[in-house]
Amino acid sequence: MEVTDGIPHRFEGKTVLVTGAGTGFGSALAVRAGQEGARVGVHYNRSREGAEATVERIRGRGGEAEVFQADISSWDAVKAMADGVDRQFGKLDVLVNNVGDIATEQMSWRDVTQELIDRVIDVDIKGTLYMHHEFGSRMLERGGGAIVNIGSTVIVRGSPRAPQYAAGKYGILGLTKSYANAFAPTVRVNTFAPGFMETESTLSREDWNTGRREKLIAATPAGRIPPPEELAATALFLATDEAAHMYGVYMIADGGYSMLGG
């Protein structure tokens, strides 16, 4: 395995698609995959400008990247994107299901509406299922691949702010285990659960800037909240050959925030 500037090329010659890669953790994942030698598909729904900026970051480091647009809550749109990825790359080796709706504008369970419930479930559950079904079945037919679902530690503690978000992320565990069984041993499916990260979205939240950040740091053994770039390589580990015996795993990286007793 080649190593350049201290970064291993774990994805040399492979193709990686990251959903929701126009901003935040998705962008960090896509850039890191590019640094590690992958040809990268940068998916977005509405943030085209962000996706194009991610592509330029990858290309600026000598990597290859292309933009793909789709509303993943539409099965037809996911099918069309899968066809587009096939045309552009020929095949897909790694799918990172990063995109998710966390209802950031909702500050309390009292603020929940049917629209907010539907929006989160349509993307987090239905959309993630469509992605597994369309891309995973093609990986299966071609003889190999890996899927990494980006979950959350919210399933450990729940979310009094947005219960539908916790339900959506918990549902991703069900999808992970189901497709890990269905696709094994040809395609591996696992979930990576990051803790809080200082993304653009998090930094702009009202509660983050009115004391919540300090409370979380105090409750985190690591004593800090990392930027998304710090966790990108950890998440991508699940798609590497080093994780070849990992199926249906839920792997947490949150600085110890969710530590529970035995």
At 189, list the tokens. 């499916």
Characterise 228 by phi-psi region: left (phi > 0), alpha (psi -120 to 50), beta (else).
Answer: alpha
Q: What are phi and psi of 69, to 5 degrees?
A: -110, 140
At 234, list the tokens. 């950890």
Chain centre distance of CA 10: 18
Catalytic residue among 165, 179, 247, 257: 165
Q: What single-letter amino acid sits at 139?
A: M
Q: Quote the CA–CA distance of 211 and 81 in Å, as a whole number.
A: 41
Q: Is 130 a catalytic residue?
A: no
Q: What are phi and psi of 252, to 5 degrees?
A: -100, 140
At 138, list the tokens. 């093609």
DSSP code at position 207:
T
Catalytic residues: 165
